[in-house]
Amino acid sequence: MDRRRLVIGSAVLLVAGCVATVSTPSTVPATKEPPASPPPTSTTPVASDIARIVPWSSETPVPPATATATPVPGAAACRADQLAAGSAGWGGATGSLLGRFLVWNASDSPCRLKGLASVAIVDAAGRSLNVIESTAAGPPAQPIVLGSRQSAPALDQEPPRGLASETFQWFNWCAASPKGPLSLAVTLSESGVLRLPVASPGGDASAPRCDDAAAPSTLTVSEFEETRGPSPTEPPAVPAEGLRLALEVPDQATAGQAFHYVAALTNPSASAIPLSPCPTYRESLVTPSGQVALDYVLDCAAVASIGPGQTVRFAMVFEIPRSQPPTDKAALIWEFDPYYSESFMPRSPAQKAAVRIVAP
């Protein structure tokens, strides 16, 4: 599975303005409000709004089909001195830095790359930054057999099939700006250390934003995954990318309970936007203690398209882990899913909302 096929770009936050709510097929007739009644000011959905909200669907997306590597009997574990790696590029993503790097086999013999590498961020003096590492959420990856004498991928192009790719995301840096240029020390799970420079687009993103000075800086790292190779043709545009998003989010959530909110999608264009293929989305809860991300599919059975100038409000549910400590520094992020949309960076629309987590 390779969700890292496109060149890194900045995540775009689009906040919709005041929008008109439209009815869905399940809408009951609206009652006329008394003229003297003021409009509600809370972002929390009220009981009278429930009939105008498309119900939440618990359907989860099916991972896209991936080509599996041809097994090589007896392939030994890859040594660091057999491998080559490109620069680790990263870019801004809602205050964090999201990046990846590619690894290929430059030796004469195939080798096997498996598991999770340990990644340290190193400053210009060779010192590892004080960053706590964690494993990114996702299914376990299969071992990758790298063929012999693989070529380096071309710059600014999709990598060929059969290389290894790894992503990482850095959160909450509150210390002084690290002395660059920065690099990564990648310790393989079975043998050796790879060292590679970090390339920031424009050189203007040397560290992520400070979200909580009392919390540690964290780095989430994925397992190695095999690149799928370039598409035969450019993938078709996803019409739903033209939608605008506004989140209606209560300011408080309770650990161990379902958190209910609304994602309002507005069509700003003069033509209907079909929800086909049905978009998948990711909702993430980012806290000083880490990040939890969940993937779902919109309820497109209830709404097949969004008309010109119309807004459809979708009910959303996020299960707050019971182990989540109380905090005033949490953020809920909603975005069209970059993996199941076969992209690398999150696709617009995307939005973040502050949430306070309280104890049960």
Residues 82 and 218 in one domain: yes
Please indicate, yes or no, whether residues 297 and 178 belong to a single structural domain of this protein. Answer: no
- Both tokens of residue 175? 């210390």
Residue range(s) defining the domain that contains residue 56: 50-60+238-358
Those residues with Cβ within 8 angstroms of residue 131's Cβ, 6 or more apart along the chain or in another chain = 120, 121, 170, 173, 216, 217, 218, 219
Average pLDDT over residues 10-15: 30
Among the candidates 196, 226, 256, a domain finishes at 226
CATH of the domain at 338: 2.60.40.10
Residue 154 lies in a domain: yes
Task: Output 316 or 117, whichever has higher pLDDT.
Answer: 316
- Which one has a higher pLDDT value, 255 or 32? 255
Q: What pLDDT score was predicted for residue 203?
A: 47
343 DSSP 8-state letter: -
Pair 83, 104 in one domain: yes
Shared domain for 283 and 144, answered yes or no, is no
DSSP 263: E
Report residue 253 as tokens. Answer: 């959530």
Specify the DSSP element, H or E, that contains 92. Answer: strand 88-93
Choose the weakest-confidence range: 70-79, 162-171, 179-188: 70-79
**Do 334 and 213 reside in the same domain of the chain?**
no
Report how far residue 248's alpha carbon sits from residue 11's, in angstroms, rounded to the nearest whole number: 21
Who has greater pLDDT, 247 or 115? 247
pTM (predicted TM-score): 0.50
Residue 244 sits in the same domain as residue 344:
yes
**Of 201, 226, 251, which residue sits at a domain end?**
226
Q: Please give the pLDDT value at position 232.
A: 56
pLDDT in tens, 269-314: 898 988 877 888 889 898 888 888 888 988 988 888 999 999 999 9
Picking from 16-30, 142-156, 193-207, 218-232, which range would have the lowest pLDDT averaged per residue? 16-30
Quick one: DSSP state of residue 48? G
Residues 301 and 212 in one domain: no
Nearest to 85 by CA among 169, 208, 187, 2: 187
Note the pLDDT tens digit of each residue in 177-194: 898 888 999 998 777 898
The answer to the question of residue 194 being in a domain is yes
Q: Indicate the pairing of strand 118-122 with strand 193-199.
A: unpaired
Same domain, 268 and 304: yes
State how far the Cα of 263 lies from the Cα of 245, in Å rounded to an integer.
Answer: 7
- Tokens 């059969």 belong to residue: 162
Structural domains counted in the chain: 2
**Residue with tokens 């996020």, as numbered in its chain:** 318
The answer to whether residue 11 is domain-embedded is no
Phi-psi region of 62 (alpha: psi -120 to 50; beta: other; left: phi over 0): beta
Do residue 175 and residue 291 come from a single domain? no
For the chain, the average pLDDT equals 76
Q: What is the DSSP string of 154-188?
A: PTTSPPPTT-EEEEEEEE---SSPPPSS-EEEEE-
Residue 248 and residue 221 share a domain = no
Distance CA(282)–CA(157), nearest Å, equals 26
53, two tokens: 């909200």
pLDDT value of position 26: 39
What percent of the chain lies above the pLDDT cut of 90?
27
DSSP string, 275-316: --SPPEEEEEEEETTEEEEEEEE--TTT-SEE-TT-EEEEEE
